[in-house]
Structure 1
Amino acid sequence: MTNSLKQRATNHTVLTVSIAVSALVVLWGAVSPNGFGAATTWLFNHVVADLSWFFLLTANIFLVFVLYLGLSSHGRIKLGADHDRPQFGRMSWFAMMFQAGMGPAIIFWGLAEPLSHYVEVPFELAPPGTDEAAGVAIQYSFFHWALHPWAIYAVAGLAVAYFTHRKGERGLLSAIFRPLLGDRVDGPLGKVIDVLAVLAVVFGIAVALGQAGLQMTAGLGKTFGLPTGIIVQLVVLALTTAAFMGSATTRIEHGIKWLSNISMLIAPVLLIFYVVVGPSITQINAFTEGLGDYLSEIVPMSFRLDAFSPDNGWMGSWTVFYWSWWIAWAPYVGLFMARISRGRTIREFVAATVLVPSVVSMIWIAVFGGAALHLARSGLAGDIAQTVQESPAAGMFVFIQQYPLAGVMSVITLVVLWVFFVAGADAGTVVLGELSTGGEPNPKTWVRLLWGVLLAGVAAVLLVSGGLEGLQKASVLTGTPFAIILVGICVAFHKALRQDRDHLAQAPRSTAEESEDRPRETEVASDVR
């Protein structure tokens, strides 16, 4: 066989296997939702009981690794040829990074999580419903949304960007392992890595779609009085699927870019409005105090397991869920980050993908979580904390009803959620198409449409079989095997970087770090999403 035919057969294998596994999951969940839910619950309980330590340690490794890369001499290495310049200005680059990494998730949890921790305080660090509990709630919300998740994304993003832009490899996770495995990455072992990456993306995006569907349904119920049961959830999912399938049939810059620009215009409106009408001083204080608590306690929080407690339920519902979810999203977000980062240095990449988005995430949590905790402490909104504890998806809309222009702001929130929902799913079909067709940057429309159907099917199965808990369990289960792959990526990436050390030893400081960017704004802005 010629190399071209071999490559085509290889790509066909990854596509066929990953689609078959995804379709089997959908079929199992559709035929026997109770059996599917029971099986995932059993596996989830064992993972949380036996492997929580693994998630904590690997997340810490990823954070230390990317900070080391940014601060060490490796930070001067360009993600591309030495003469490459950045393709985008810093502001648009930052905006695209943040939207890729969080999407609608922070709208869902940015308010619901602090209120949940206020009622059920992590590790019983404070009595529930107290000032101390409110402080711990902000602190742990920062912990779950700041440095660690962005470092997980950065590991995959840096590695993909380095190997594609600087080494000329295809945009596949398996290609990163060439320094360790040699040409075996082109054989069955490499295909296993690629299939696991595809499945991680499928379930990671399906969890996000399911959560967005839950929140949109709750918002429709609170705003227009519509029912919020599983039937309505599936109808919302179906309508949104139709929308992103339509977007998937257009050129990437006509679909994803248009939707992404809308979402990045609307989301800041929500933030600014609730700073103006909300308890501004409380929100500023929540950010300041929360930042101090987070930074001073980051090491204990990063290793806390409550080792001698027989019940690890809180860890499974929160920290382990988040770390596994970010890990499952890593190939998707990493590929996105890589494609918009040609010409940047590793140091710039770390700053843009770890430090800046962490600050933005903390500001969002301080504004919405701080205002929600203020309502809970003052009793102005009844028992809002307990209400959100019982229905996290409704949290944002219960909150909105306590402030002026509730109807208008509810509609705006529904719009931004829907746009995030559609843009994220559409981008997911692009990434899945690329990963499953040998790194093809512009996968065929039929491949994207097929992945769109399967994403909606997996999200629907997870909703029917377990609702929010089912979504969380699926994330933990898919993130577990991919965490091992990310550790291998760190080893392979570091080995490849050492080969550049001598080359840069005598090189002058990169112009990318010396002077202002002269970006080349091109259509690539849309190629990613």
Structure 2
Amino acid sequence: MRKISNVFYITIGLIILAVGYGVIAAESFETVTNSIKSFVSSSFGWYYMLLLSFLLVLSIFFIFSPFGKVRLGRDEDRPSFSTITWIAMLFSAGMGIGLVFYGAAEPLSHYAINPATAEPNTDAAFKEAMRYTFFHWGLHVWAMYGIVGLALAYFQFRKEEPGLISATLKPIFGKKMEGPWGVLVDVLAVFATAFGVATSLGFGAVQINAGLDYLFGFSIGFKSQLIIIAVVTVLFVASAWSGLSKGIKYLSNTNLILALALLGFVLILGPTLLIFNVFTDSIGGYLANLISMSFRTAPLNNAHREWLDSWTIFYWAWWISWAPFVSMFIARVSKGRTIREFMVVVMLAPTILSAFWFSAFGSTAINMQRKGIVDLANTDTELTIFEMFHAMPWSILISIVAVLLIASFFITSADSATFVLGMQSTYGSLTPPNSVKIIWGVIQSAIAIILLSVNGLTALQNTIIIAALPFSFIILLMIVSLIKALQSERPRSERPRRRKAKENV
């Protein structure tokens, strides 16, 4: 246990305090966290909008700047994973399970229940629903993950620093990041990761439970969800034990195959022509309105502002809270890529896949709602996708594939998180001990189980969103540190040109 840092013990202590509060005073925990979350959303919404937009612009700059040629590693390093496997890993660790959970439910909500600005159940609401769904899961999110992941990968592989958030701040603060301040930064990252993944485990268990109930009459309730989490825990711990190049690699490829199969079913059995038309039209609408959506805060319309707080600003805070986990994992699997290749693929591949996914599932759900085939608008979120499948041919087969995909995404996210948590609590080790990964796997599952038993997942979700605010300031410091460090690359990139100039003379 000599490899374990103080970050491990401090974070465990904070987790025990937070979970203990959630169990002993569940209602108070939810009330307090709701109040703080509402304050953060209403007071800092403008800041989140500016921050994510700035990160998008910065990402584009890195793609076209001379820094794009810099390799994340030594100049002779090359990628460890094929491009397809790499994309599958990005997709799985980033937001795979969310796509299944919200694939039909979010566009449907923006269309029929609570549109951003349009009247419900209208053509305008349909277009707006798809546009805003693309916005919430698109370029801004992946630009943010890309920038944070770029900083981590650059310092880890190019500068040979430990794989820690705190290590990326050394160009600004120097050796202070090796002391208490560095521990504080890493504790915040580990805390957000542990609770963020535990929340997903809880919500994933609820949706798997709903799918098994639909398919096999598996009763919905805490006991069923406990069994699901226990089984999944055994599977992702076994995967974590096998290592990055085996467990997560094979799971990510499996996820991609299952996701494409499910997408194919919906594309063929759903309103195929409508899906392609909606995808094309919505991409255009998304890009045409990107600037206005990026800076929209609705200061003079309370109803519109409430919608933004509930959706856009909630998403921006939620994605920021996931940045330590997702970005660190992306960085770990991206050694050997150039900055340009890294930013282009991280931004575009998941964005395009997500857009087509929402076009297929969202258009199918909204089409059913418009034609009165099934009332999906009044269905619980975790059941929406299964009720949609019920109205399609081969419903049992499609539902089975969906449950397998949710479970696979579920296992991959938890597996990836145990790896990242292991890195962060063992001084940034690229190969954290299996014992540490197993401990973190059990802790994540225990958090989910305990809070499911007292209906505390909403409060936990609020806690993660609150933690996003201080971490957003760390992201800004990481950017300053990265740009400062990249200045040392400029003379190196210009040397060949100078040599050629001398030869010509």
**Normalising by the residue count of structure 2, what TM-score does the alignment of the two structures yield?**
0.93
CA contact (8 A) 2:85 2:253 kept: no
Identify the match of residue 203 of structure 1 among 192, 195, 198.
Answer: 195
1:116 to partner: Cα distance: 0.7
Does 1:222 find its partner at 2:211?
A: no
CA RMSD of aligned residues (A): 2.0
1:275 to partner: Cα distance: 1.0
Q: Which amino acid aligns with 1:441?
A: L
Identify the match of residue 340 of structure 1 among 327, 333, 357.
Answer: 333
1:32-91 Cα deviation digits (max 9, x unpaired):
222222221121121122121222121112111111111111111111122222333322
* Alignment partner, residue 150 of structure 1: 142
Name the stretch that deviates more: 99-108 or 241-250. 241-250
Q: Give secondary structure in 2 for the equivalent of 1:104.
A: helix
In 2, Cα distance between equivalents of 1:97 and 1:45: 31
Identify the match of residue 131 of structure 1 among 123, 126, 129.
Answer: 123
Aligned positions of 1:43-442 closer than 5 A? 43-123=36-116, 125-310=117-302, 312-381=305-374, 383-387=375-379, 391-442=380-431
In 2, Cα distance between equivalents of 1:81 and 1:135: 47
Name the stretch that deviates more: 105-114 or 33-42. 33-42
Q: Give secondary structure in 2 for the equivalent of 1:342.
A: coil
Q: Which amino acid aligns with 2:409?
A: F
Name the stretch that deviates more: 80-89 or 481-490. 80-89
Name the stretch that deviates more: 248-257 or 493-502. 248-257
Gaps of 5+ in 2: 498-505
Q: Give secondary structure in 1 for the equivalent of 2:103.
A: helix
1:231 to partner: Cα distance: 4.0
1:354 to partner: Cα distance: 0.2
1:444 to partner: Cα distance: 1.9
CA contact (8 A) 2:108 2:366 kept: yes
Name the stretch that deviates more: 133-142 or 96-105. 96-105
Gaps of 5+ in 1: 509-529
Q: Which amino acid aligns with 1:26?
A: V
Shift in CA distance, 282/180, structure 1 to aligned 2, threshold 3 Å: same
CA contact (8 A) 1:161 1:342 kept: yes
* Alignment partner, residue 517 of structure 1: none
Identify the match of residue 475 of structure 2 among 474, 486, 490.
Answer: 486
1:251 to partner: Cα distance: 4.0
Shift in CA distance, 309/463, structure 1 to aligned 2, threshold 3 Å: farther
Shift in CA distance, 478/464, structure 1 to aligned 2, threshold 3 Å: farther
Name the stretch that deviates more: 309-318 or 156-165. 309-318
In 2, Cα distance between equivalents of 1:106 and 1:235: 24
1:297 to partner: Cα distance: 0.8
Count matched residues: 496
CA contact (8 A) 1:384 1:398 kept: yes
1:472 to partner: Cα distance: 4.0
1:496 to partner: Cα distance: 0.9
CA contact (8 A) 2:74 2:336 kept: yes
1:342-379 Cα deviation digits (max 9, x unpaired):
22111111111001221111011111111111111111
Name the stretch that deviates more: 300-309 or 159-168. 300-309
Does 1:445 find its partner at 2:431?
A: no
* Alignment partner, residue 501 of structure 2: none
Aligned positions of 1:451-470 closer than 5 A? 451-464=440-453, 466=455, 469-470=458-459
CA contact (8 A) 1:116 1:385 kept: yes
Q: Which amino acid aligns with 2:68?
A: G
Shift in CA distance, 198/360, structure 1 to aligned 2, threshold 3 Å: same
Q: Give secondary structure in 1 for the equivalent of 2:466.
A: helix
Q: Give secondary structure in 2 for the equivalent of 1:103.
A: helix
Shift in CA distance, 170/65, structure 1 to aligned 2, threshold 3 Å: same
In 1, Cα distance between equivalents of 2:286 and 2:453: 37
CA contact (8 A) 2:426 2:432 kept: yes
CA contact (8 A) 1:63 1:147 kept: yes
Name the stretch that deviates more: 354-363 or 44-53. 44-53
1:103 to partner: Cα distance: 2.2
* Alignment partner, residue 463 of structure 2: 474
Q: Give secondary structure in 1 for the equivalent of 2:436.
A: helix
